[in-house]
Chains A and B, each alone.
Chain A
Amino acid sequence: RKEVEQDPGPFNVPEGATVAFNCTYSNSASQSFFWYRQDCRKEPKLLMSVYSSGNEDGRFTAQLNRASQYISLLIRDSKLSDSATYLCVVNHDYKLSFGAGTTVTVRA
């Protein structure tokens, strides 16, 4: 079983729509959680950390459910520039485990 599993998508949504997706992780001892964004043929970049109480960063909302071991990301009012692959990332000690990514395409 992979440490981090994500629905690969693609999620194809119109501008202005809301899109949400999640991932699950297998290691219950995981300590911290992140969403990274990766554009085509580019390196991953941190989008946001995910906290147990849930957190928002502009149009992005992340939720963590430790009991069920899943993490979600919601994007409101989608922009064309949100088109990317979103990587669910879980930290245990110093090691990050990456999901394979969820591809989001926002169309005009």
Chain B
Amino acid sequence: GAGVSQSPSNKVTEKGKDVELRCDPISGHTALYWYRQRLGQGLEFLIYFQGNSAPDKSGLPSDRFSAERTGESVSTLTIQRTQQEDSAVYLCASSLTSGANTDTQYFGPGTRLTVL
């Protein structure tokens, strides 16, 4: 079946511009996560959605970052007034449920963001 998809795969933007990244989770997966991976570093948790519950935004690095998800479908991550330090790969993952100890998170291919 189809995995997690993300678009665009690459995005180059100028400092100060806004960008929007999209994630399509696996159908039926109620949990959706956004992570950021800077070059040579581990993944940083950004935000988590579970069904219709309020999202956990505790990982968002600043108020320039926001994310939305409609129901259990597509999510968009928006970065306003991009800065060079925002350059990273943004990974989306989904899982069937959440909280259960062994739920596997399936990752999308990521969006590579470069801020000039």
Which A residues lie at the B interface, using CB under 8 A? 4, 31-32, 42-46, 49, 87, 91, 93-101
Name the one of A87, A94, A101 contacting B48, with C-beta atoms under 8 angstroms.
A94
Instruction: Judge whether B1 is part of the interface by a CB distance below 8 angstroms.
Output: no
Interchain CB contact under 8 A, B98 and A87? no
**In this complex, which of B35, B40, B42, B108 has the most chain A Cβ atoms within 10 angstroms of its Cβ?**
B42
- 18 A-B residue pairs with Cβ-Cβ distance under 8 Å, sorted by A, are A31-B101, A43-B109, A43-B110, A45-B107, A46-B104, A46-B105, A49-B102, A87-B42, A87-B43, A93-B99, A94-B56, A94-B98, A95-B56, A96-B43, A96-B45, A98-B35, A100-B41, A100-B42
Interchain CB contact under 8 A, A32 and B104? no
Instruction: Judge whether B21 is part of the interface by a CB distance below 8 angstroms.
Output: no
Instruction: Judge whether B82 is part of the interface by a CB distance below 8 angstroms.
Output: no
Within 8 A of A (CB), among B15-74: 31, 33, 35, 40-43, 45, 48, 50, 56
Name the one of A93, A95, A98 contacting B42, with C-beta atoms under 8 angstroms.
A98
A-B contact count (CB 8 A): 44
Bound CA span A42–B4, Å = 13
Name the one of A42, A97, A99, A101 contacting B109, with C-beta atoms under 8 angstroms.
A42
Q: Contact string, B88-116, partner A, CB cutoff 8 A, digits 1/0?
A: 00010000001101101111111000000
Interchain CB contact under 8 A, B45 and A4? no
Bound CA span A99–B41, Å = 8
Bound CA span A44–B104, Å = 12
Interchain CB contact under 8 A, A94 and B50? yes
Residues of B within 8 A of A95 (CB): 45, 48, 56
Once A94-B48, A98-B43, A101-B42 are accepted as A-B contacts, the answer to whether A32 and B107 lie under 8 Å apart by CB is: no
Interchain CB contact under 8 A, B42 and A94? no
The 10 closest A-B pairs by CB, nearest first: A43-B107, A32-B101, A100-B42, A94-B98, A98-B43, A98-B42, A31-B101, A46-B104, A44-B107, A43-B109
Residues of B within 8 A of A97 (CB): 45
